[in-house]
Structure 1
């Protein structure tokens, strides 16, 4: 159970970090949201793979 919580926390942190870095780099909220959504591809992958 602890492993799943750690993975969820890590993925959430990763999504937020991707959005922040994207905003700082391109100064665009749109790109930040797009990069945050792309990071959810990893979430779906982990769900499908059963991690």
Structure 2
């Protein structure tokens, strides 16, 4: 049960990070929503390419 909670929290943290990074970069709600769905993929992309 604890593993499930940790995994669920990890997905939430990735989503929040993606939205924050997207908002500070683009100032667009639509981009922030899209990047929120992508979550950790967008965070990794941002760290590698920006």
Q: Which runs of 4+ in 1 moved over 6 A?
A: none
- The count of aligned residue pairs is 41
Matches of 2:10 and 2:37, distance apart in 1: 15
Normalising by structure 2, we get a TM-score of 0.71
Instruction: Measure how far apart 1:13 and its partner are.
Output: 1.0
| Higher relative contact order (Cα pairs below 8 Å, separated by 6+ residues) | 2
RMSD, aligned CA:
1.8
Q: Deviations over 1:2-47 (max 9, x none)?
A: 01100100111110110110010111111000001123xxxxxxxx
What is the TM-score with the length of structure 1 in the denominator? Answer: 0.69
* Partner Cα separation in structure 1 for residue 16 and residue 6 of structure 2: 15
Ranges in structure 1 where 5+ consecutive residues have no aligned partner: 40-51
Residue 31 of structure 1 is matched in structure 2 by 31
Question: Which structure 2 residue ranges, 5 or more long, are not aligned?
Answer: 40-50
